[in-house]
Amino acid sequence: MSQPFDPLAVASAVQQNFATMTEAELGDLIADDCVVHEAPSLPFGGDWVGPSGFAALMRAIMGTFLEFSVEPGSIFSDGKDMLAFQCTLHGRTAKGSFTMPLVEYWRFGDGKVKEIHAMWHDSKQVCDLL
């Protein structure tokens, strides 16, 4: 008997293992037509589609910074199909380091992640450090 769908469990699994999950593992959680929206001004900006797009985005982010880590924060829910996560990002480039809050909106459908919007609190600072 299958477990009831738990958006928080899905999101937590992805967030805690985003840097190491294979595309096959991501495919169990992320829909084929899922779109992750990153601000076009960022070096890894644009729309990333499906599990392979998600994995490529993670590689792009990890490859942008000399160091990068995520400190989990509060979780929010609309009680229906959307969760939001606040977290604090720590990163370092050759020009300097940054610490900034990020918020992400995750929309779910048919038991998987369907859409993610990422909002960095100060995208300009990130761009200036690259």
Partner 1 sequence: MTFEDKIAVMRAVESLMHEGRISEIATLVHPDFVVHEDPGMPYGGVYRGPDGFVQLVSNVVAAWQDLRTECLSFLDEPGGDGILLIIRNSGKAPGSGKPVEVLTSEYWRIVDGTLREGRVWYYDSPAAAAALTEGLA
Residue 17 CB, nearest approach to partner 1 (Å): 24
Of 52 and 90, nearer to partner 1 (C-beta) is 90
Of 59 and 124, nearer to partner 1 (C-beta) is 124
Residue 71 CB, nearest approach to partner 1 (Å): 15
Residue 76 CB, nearest approach to partner 1 (Å): 4
Binding site for partner 1 (CB under 8 A): 37, 39-41, 45, 74-79, 82-84, 86, 101-103, 105, 117, 119-125, 127
Contacts of 21 (CB under 8 A, 6+ apart): 14, 55
Q: Are 105 and 93 in contact (CB under 8 A)?
A: no
Burial of 51 (0-12, 13-18, 19+ CB in 10 A): buried
Of 23 and 75, nearer to partner 1 (C-beta) is 75
